[in-house]
Amino acid sequence: MSSKQYNIAIVGATGAVGKVMLEILAERKFPVRHLRLLASERSGGKKIMFGGLEVAVEPLTEKSFEGVDIALFSAGAERSRLFAPAAVKSGAVVIDNTSYFRMNPDVPLVVPEVNPEDIKKHHGIIANPNCSTIGMVLALNPIHQAAKINRVVVTTFQSVSGAGASAIQELKDQILAWARGEHLPPKKFAHPIAFNCIPQIDDFLENGYTKEEIKMVNETKKIIGDPSIQLTATCVRVPVFYAHSESVTIETERKLTAREAREILSKAPGVVMCDEPANKKYPMPIYVEGHDETFVGRIREDISHPSAITLWLVSDNLRKGAATNAVQIAEHLRR
C-alpha cells in the first residue's frame, strides 16, 4: 500500500455520517496530510477535533476542493449533484454516500468485500450504496457465488440514525416526553417514532413501494452484478438509535442446507456469525452498534420453499452502512 499522505475533504462534516467518517479515518489510521471539513454556511466557524487538533468547518463552495485528493460526501443528494462535479474538476476522487449517482451506469457502486474490482472503473466518482443494501449484500454475495440466488424477500427494521442527527434527537425527546406523561408531536417523521414502527422510509412510488425499497432492489443487482436476481423489500423505521436489522429469505437455484449456509457465511469477508439460538445468541442492534461487520444468525431452512433459507442480520448503519464502507473504498484507492 502507498505511503503517500492525502488531502481529504468531508462534505457534511457536522452531520451524523460525517462525524463517524472522522472517527473511522482516525481509527483506521488513514494517512491524512490535510483535512478540510465542509458544511452549510450555518456551520461555518465550528471547530471539530481530529488528530489532536481543532479543525475549522468551512462553508461548502465550488472552490472548496482545490488541492483535495479524496472527497467524502455525506450531505444529501442535492449537495452531491451540485458539488461533486466541481470536486472532480478540481482533481479529487469523490466517494459519495448519497443516492444521487448510485444507478448511473458510469459510476461504480461498491462494497469492497463484494466488488472491489469495480473501483478501477471510476471516472472521478464512486458511489457508496444504501446502508441497508450494504449489510445485506455482504451476506447475499457468498451465497450467490455458492448456489446462485433466484429471489430475495427482505424486511428491514431501520434505526432512526439512518434519518440523520435530527431523527436521533426526535426519538430521545419523545421518550423523555413519554416518561413525563407528555406528548411531543413529530417533526422529522410523519408519525411518532417512540414505541412505534413506521412502515415507510422515503416517498412512495406509483407501484406502492417506497424509494428506499426500490434502492435495495436495484442496488443489489448492480453490486452483485446479476440483474436476474429478483428481490422484494419492505422497509420499516423502528425506535432504535443505531444499527439496522433485516429479515432475509433467500431462494437459491441449488438447495442449501442451513449447515451449508452457516459454513459459507462463516468464511465470508465482513460477516460475523452469531447463531446459537439454543443459548439465546443472535444478532441484536445494541450489541452490533460500533462494529464494522454484518452479524448473521437465525439461519434456517425455509419450511415453505424447497430451496430457500431464512436468516436475520444486523449491521451498524453509520459505520459499515456508510462511513466505514466509504473509508474502505478510499483505502482501495491508495492501492
Instruction: Kindly state whether residues 68 and 143 are assigned to the same domain.
Output: no
Asked if 149 and 251 touch (Cβ cutoff 8 Å), the reply is yes
pLDDT of residue 335: 84
Are 103 and 178 in a shared domain?
no
Q: What is the domain-level CATH number for residue 125?
A: 3.40.50.720
Residue 49: count other Cβ atoms within 10 Å of its Cβ: 10
Are 178 and 123 in a shared domain?
Answer: no
Would residue 200 count as lying in a domain?
yes
Q: DSSP per residue over 270-323, as a string?
A: TEEE--BGGGTB---HHHHTT-SSEEEEEEEE-TTSTTEEEEEEEE-TTIIIII
Identify how many contiguous H helices and E strands the chain contains and give both numbers.
8, 13
Q: Please state the φ and ψ torsions of residue 280, each to the nearest 5 degrees.
A: 60, 35
Task: Give the structural domain span for 263.
Answer: 133-317
pLDDT for position 40: 87
- Beta-ladder partners of 294: 271
Is 291 one of the catalytic residues? Answer: no
Count of domains observed in the chain: 2
Cell 455520517 identifies what position? 17
10-residue mean pLDDT series, the chain (335 residues): 88 95 97 95 85 93 97 96 97 97 98 98 98 98 98 98 96 98 96 98 98 98 98 98 98 98 98 98 98 98 98 98 98 93
pTM for the structure as a whole: 0.95
> Is 94 strand, coil or helix?
strand
**Integer Cα distance of 312 and 310 in angstroms:** 7
Residue 113 lies inside a defined structural domain of this protein: yes
CA distance 195 to 174: 9
> In this structure, are 49 and 66 located in the same domain?
yes
Q: Are residues 232 and 327 in the same domain?
A: no
- Calpha distance 15→38 (Å, rounded): 10
Domain harbouring 196, CATH code: 3.30.360.10
- Per-residue cell: 21: 467518517
183 with 237, same domain: the answer is yes
Task: Assess contact for 308 and 143: CB atoms under 8 A.
Answer: no
Contacts of 256 (CB under 8 A, 6+ apart): 143, 146, 147, 264, 307, 309
Q: Say how many C-beta atoms besides its own lie within 10 A of residue 85's C-beta.
A: 14
- What distance lies between CA 90 and its chain's CA centroid? 27
Q: How many CB atoms are located within 10 Å of the residue 269 CB? A: 12
Distance in angstroms (rounded) separating the CA atoms of residues 288 and 313: 10
Same domain, yes or no, for 12 and 120?
A: yes
Backbone angles phi, psi at 29, to 5 degrees: 55, 45
User: Would you state the cell numbers that stand for residue 170, as one nine-digit string?
Assistant: 426526535
Classify residue 1: in a domain, yes or no. Answer: no
Query: Catalytic one among 131, 144, 235, 274?
Result: 131
Catalytic, out of 122, 144, 244, 274: 244
Q: At what angle do helices 258-266 and 131-147 cross, to 10 degrees?
A: 120
Let me know whether 193 and 228 are in one domain.
yes
Does residue 279 belong to any structural domain of this protein?
yes
* Residue of 91, 241, 262 lying closest to 160 (CA atoms): 241
C-alpha cell of residue 330: 478510499
The answer on 72 and 93 residing in a single domain is yes
CB atoms within 10 A of CB 204: 11
